[in-house]
Structure formats: structure tokens, C-alpha cells
Structure 1
Amino acid sequence: MKSHAVRLESAGHSVTVVAAERAVTDWSGRYFGPWWKAATVEAQDVCAGAVVIAEVDHGRFGDESLAVTRVAHRSVGYARARLLVAEDREAGLIRAVSPEDGLAYRSEPHAGSLLVFGCETEPVATATARLAREMLRGLLLRDGWAVLHASAVVAEDGRTVLTLGRKGAGKTTTALALAGRHGCGLLANDRVFVRANDRGGVDVLPWPSAAALGLGLLDALGWAGICRERLEAGEALHPTQDRRVTEALLAGRREPLWEGGKELKVQVFPDQFPGWFGVPLATEGQAAALVFPRIEAGAAPAEEDAPCGLGEGDFMSGATEDRYPDVFGLVGVDGGGTEEARRAVAERLAELPHHSVVLGHDVGANADFLAKVTGCV
């Protein structure tokens, strides 16, 4: 049986996904796309480097499940599911099974190899992409990169605007205002890899993920109608999207949807930014300015005389990355990077222009204001 493969690359590191089912490798290719230079390769050419192999095979899933449950194992939470983990330190082998998801895993961290077995294609494809991202994250973090909780856009000359703040502060609003109206490349909407470089600056790389956009922001950007047309034509947004959001888009609703104090948002695939909305994706940049936004309905965009600066909480860490604990030995360091890497980045970013701003709901006005303030367009 012919196998398919897609290679992901960033900053000189790569991970290859191999599977007999094309749908599995297509999922990784789409999910990481231009951000991590996803490219189809010949499976027979995959002979070295980090690799994730996926199989949709009920029998193999059963065999791997028994291999875990028949020996001493522990139970952990992983990707919002229960994971049973058995570790053979002598053999350098980690086995795991997620009974509810119908997924089993076999990891050999020192060999840079991980196998995923499952009963159905979609869960296998999703798990494979997630673990490929974890594997490449580990390669980058061990190479001195750190993970910053920020959105980022890149101008044509590589200068990058980082937007920071707590959840709901307006990081995504700021990034998409610049990317949607002034032609900047979208590097990331929620987190980025950062590393101090030998030129006295900070290099920035994307963290590929689906983007969560509220219905109000989608409307303000002028994208709600586009989404409705695409959905009516049979296309789909990311499968993690709540069906009520899809129904609201199809019904032409624009007001935010809430459940228990949490806004239900549109979940956009990375490739839908250029494909649906004409927003290019950037693959790298160098930090040039930091923006700390605050959203206020009816406000005219303006700079504020308010304290702003990078804090330890702006870096991701083991405490903030506990949804995906490193049970497979793929990362090897703190999930947000080493303390030394974070400190070096913080010192460099402190030297860049900082802008504390208030933004309203007029995306065009926000975009023009941000372009002028940051000087990056």
C-alpha cells in the first residue's frame, strides 16, 4: 500500500508526517500550511529526522491498548481526555492509549519517532497534527526559542508588531486590523516563538493554530458575509467550532453568542485567511514594536498614558501548557522555553517601542491608527 508524507519546516528544523491514508497527511498540510512550510514529499525518501507515523487500523489499536493496560501504567489528562501511559525506561519506549478517543500511541523520544494508531480517520488525523506540532515545538525550544503569548503581524520589510495582553484584551483584533487593511502578513493570532538573535534583536516565528474570532469582530472585518457564502457552498470551518456558531452564521446573525460567560467563536483554519479573506500568512519576522491594547465600545483609537511592559506571565510555561503535558517526551524542556531564553528575549523586547492603546469597534479607524503609531506599514 502506498504511503503519503508531508514535511513541516521552521527555522531549520523539520518533522515529517507519514500515513497510508491521504486524508491524514492532507490534514497536517492544511493545518500548518505556509506557516510551517508544509510540503508533500515522497514517503520512501523519509529516512532520517523526526517523524510521526499514523495508522487507521482497529487491530493495531487493540494490540497497543493491551500493551498498555497489561503493565503498570498511570492516568493523565491529555487534550481534554483520559490517557493511560506506560513507560519502559530501559527500552526508551512510551506507550499510551486514550480509550474514549479510540487512539493509541508509541513514542521513542531518543529516536525522534512517534506512532499513532486509531479506529477512525478524523481522530487519527487530528491527533497526528497535534503531536507533529508538539514534536517541532520541542525541537525549537531545545534550540533556544521560547513561546510568547502574543499575536503578530509582519510588514513587507520583516518588521513585526507584537500585541500582548490578557485574554480578551484585543490581541486578535489588533493583528487582524493591520493584516486585513494594511497588507501585513499574519504571523499568529495568539502565540509566537521568539528568540534573541546575534543582531541585537528578537526573531519571531509562527505557532500554527486555528484562530477564534467572535461574531462581532467577524462582522466588523467585513468577513461574516464571506463565511456565510462559503458555508452555503458546502465548505466548512474548523471542526472544533460549536454548531450554534455555524447556525448563527448561516442565519446571518452578527451579535456575539455566549454560554456560561464564555463567548462562542468562529474557528478559522490557517489556510482560510488567505483563501477566504485575502490575508497573507507570514513565516518569520523580527520584533519592532509592542502594542498593549484595550477595547472600548465607541472609543476613538488613541494612545494611552498607561504603564505597559512585558511580564513573566506573557510567556507560556509548563503551568499554562498543561492541556498537553509532555507525556511522550517530545519537548524535553519547559513548554514555554528555558528560563535563559525567556530572559534574553525579555531584555531585548524591553528596548523596543511600547504602545498602550485604546481601540474602538471601527476596524478601519483602528487599522489606520495602528499603522501610524507603530510605523510598521
Structure 2
Amino acid sequence: MPLSATRIHTDTATVTVASQDRAVTDWSTRYFGPWWNATAAADPGPGALADDGGLVLADVDPERVDDVRALVTDYGHEEVTYANARTLVARHEGITYAVQPDERIGYQVTGRRLVIVGAEPEPVAVAAARLARELVRGQLLADGWTVLHASAATRNGRAVLTLGDKGAGKTTTGLLLALSGWGLLANDRIFVRPEADGHVRVLPWPSAAALGFGLLDAVGLYDRTRERVLDGGQLHPTQHPTVTQALMGGRREPLWRADGKERKPQFFPDQLSSWLGLTLSTEARAAGLLFPTMSPHMTPGLVENGRTLTAADVFDQKTEDRYPDIFGLTPTIATGSETLSEFLAQLPRRSLVLNHDTNASATVVTRTAEEILTAS
């Protein structure tokens, strides 16, 4: 059976995803798209699979899943949570074996060569894209990049970065700017690196975008999203089934879990443009920082709180909660956050408060971002 492949390249990082199932590689092409220059190659030759950066071989093979699980059991294992799934991990003679029993996915990792097997195409495709992204992250971190918990919007090659805790309004701020004609570079995480010329470069972190019902409705994107779903369009599979049911039923109010967290529609990166009409950016240099706070009972506007970049804004192996480095893909190096903080401290920064009056919040966000571009 012929192989298909997707080549992913951003800055100095290069990863290839290959499979005998075209649906697996098409998923990575779609997921990384223009953000990480993902290109497809049908039936690639041996040169296309050269392990010069990272290689993910992913196939549907239920019997091999059982084989991997047997190895994990034989070698002894630890149990961890990876990508919100129970994962059993064993290491033997330089090879890492792992299995996610509920998802029926097995992994075998040697250096930067990853083999993924599963019982169904979609879980295999999701896992392959996730591990390809981890390979890219490892290469970028080794080259001096840092991952920040931030969204970023761009204009004319310059980016305004929005930082804050969960629920602070990072995604809302990025979305409001994107709806005002800015480019959306990332909605939750970004790569940043100080350069010798004094600028801070910014690269995207491709990921599904979680946008709540209330936010979609407030910015006028709910109806077009529901129309796409009613026409058979599929949102990202990490989305809970009750979200699709609620969309089809016309629900506009937030959908809450028992633990108080909101269940939200999860958009593929390409759906941000094809469904929502947003423009995606692929790279920029940082022009300034925004630090929003969501406060329903306050009037949107600027506030003085002295907020700056903190250690909590930086993702490392101590703060990474969804994707712990169980496969040893992240280099053991200093994050360089002190140098990064020095560079970012020289940029204009503003703290602001937003509320659920979307028009008023959008006015404050766009005006403040434009002032930052003028001041930088």
C-alpha cells in the first residue's frame, strides 16, 4: 500500500508525518496548514522520509496496539494522564512504549522517530498531529524559543500579545482584534524568541480553538457556526458530544460541566478562516503586551495594576498540564525567560478590564492595541 506524507516546517523545525492511510496525513496537513507550512506528498520516495528533524509513522493496526500493550505490561509501567487520557508508559533499552487503553492507541518512540498504531483512523490522526507538534516544539525550544500562555494578533507584521490567567480574556481579546481586521496568530499559546536586533519574534502554536456559546453569539458568529453544523460540518473531535447537540438545538447560553467548567465548541485551526472568516498570521515581531481581566460588573477601560510578564505566563515541564513530556521530546535546557522578560519589558504594555458588552470591550481592545502599535 503506498505511503502518503505531510511535511511540516516552521523556522528551523521540520517534521514529517507518514501513513498508509491518507486520512491520517490529510489531518496533519489541515491542522497545521499555513501556520506551520504543512504540505502534502502522495506516495513519497525514501528521501521524503529522511529523519532530519522528526518522523511520525502512524497507521491503523489493531493487532499492533495489542502487541505494544503486551510490551508495556511485560516491562513494568507507570500510569500518567496525557492529552486527558489514561496512559501507561514503559521504557526499555532506550525505547519508550506507551498505550492508551481506552483510546486503543499504542506508541513506540526511539529518539525523534515515533511510531503510532491505533484501532481507528481518527484517533490515530489526532495522535499523529499531536506528536508532530511536540516534535516541532522540542526543536524550537532547543533553538531558543519559549512557549508563552498568550494569544496574539497582528497588523503589518507586528504582534500585540495578550497574557493572563485562564478566563482572563486572552481568547476574547484575540478574537475581537481578528474581527476588527487584525490577523490572528494564536489564541492560547505562542512561541517567542528574543533576537540580536532587539526584537522579539513570534510564531504560532496551532491548536483547536475553544469559543464558548456566549462569546460566539455576542460577536455574531453563532448563527454561521450553527448553520455549518446543521449542514453536516464537523468540529474538532475533542469537543464534547453535548456541544454539537446544543448547537443543533439552537442553544446560545453557556453549557456547563458538573465541575463548573464550560463546554465549548472546538474549532479546527482552518475553520477559524473557512467558517469564521478570520485571517491567520504565520509570524510577526512583538510590538507590545495586553493584560486583560474579565469583570462583568465593570465598565471596559484601562486600569493601572503594574502587571508584567511572570513565571506563570511561561510554559515549561513544571507548568505543562495537558502534554507532559512522557516521550522525552523536550530538551533539558533553561527557558531563557529572564532574558525574554528583559526584552518584553521594553515594549509598551497596557492592562485593561473587559465585560460582556462585546461592542464596548471591542472598542477598548482595538483602540488600546492601535495605541501600542503607535507607541512601539
Q: TM-score by structure 2 length?
A: 0.93
Cα deviation, residue 126, structure 1 = 1.2
Is residue 2:100 matched to residue 1:98? Answer: yes
Moved more, 227-236 or 43-52: 43-52
340, 354, 358: which is aligned to 1:359? 354
In 1, distance between residues paired with 2:88 and 2:10? Answer: 31
Contact 1:299 1:361 (8 Å CA) reproduced? no
Other structure's SS at 2:251 match: coil
Aligned positions of 1:31-50 closer than 5 A = 31-42=31-42, 43-44=44-45, 45-49=48-52, 50=54
Contact 2:3 2:20 (8 Å CA) reproduced? yes
Aligned length: 367
Aligned positions of 1:200-279 closer than 5 A = 200-259=198-257, 260-279=259-278
Corresponding residue number in structure 2 for 1:308: 307
Contact 1:138 1:333 (8 Å CA) reproduced? no
Corresponding residue number in structure 2 for 1:372: 367
Corresponding residue number in structure 2 for 1:24: 24
Contact 2:301 2:353 (8 Å CA) reproduced? yes
Other structure's SS at 1:358 match: strand
Cα deviation, residue 298, structure 1 = 6.4
Corresponding residue number in structure 2 for 1:86: 90
Contact 1:141 1:333 (8 Å CA) reproduced? no
Other structure's SS at 1:261 match: coil
Corresponding residue number in structure 2 for 1:159: 158
Corresponding residue number in structure 2 for 1:179: 178
In 2, distance between residues paired with 1:177 and 1:221? Answer: 8
Could you report, residue by residue, the CA deviation over 1:231-265 in whole angstroms, capped at 9, with x for unpaired residues? 11110111122222222222222221222311111
Corresponding residue number in structure 2 for 1:127: 127
In 1, distance between residues paired with 2:77 and 2:168? Answer: 42
In 1, distance between residues paired with 2:288 and 2:330? Answer: 29
Contact 2:56 2:132 (8 Å CA) reproduced? yes
Cα deviation, residue 299, structure 1 = 4.8
Cα deviation, residue 345, structure 1 = 1.0
In 1, distance between residues paired with 2:8 and 2:168? Answer: 31
Cα deviation, residue 371, structure 1 = 2.6
Other structure's SS at 1:62 match: helix
Corresponding residue number in structure 2 for 1:74: 78
Q: TM-score by structure 1 length?
A: 0.92
Structure 2: 5+ residue runs without aligned partners? none
Other structure's SS at 1:149 match: strand
In 2, distance between residues paired with 1:52 and 1:358? Answer: 43
Corresponding residue number in structure 2 for 1:349: 344
Moved more, 297-306 or 322-331: 297-306
Question: CA RMSD for the aligned pairs?
Answer: 1.7
Cα deviation, residue 14, structure 1 = 0.9
What code does the residue aligned with 1:127 have? A
Percent identity reads 50
Other structure's SS at 1:163 match: strand
Cα deviation, residue 74, structure 1 = 3.0
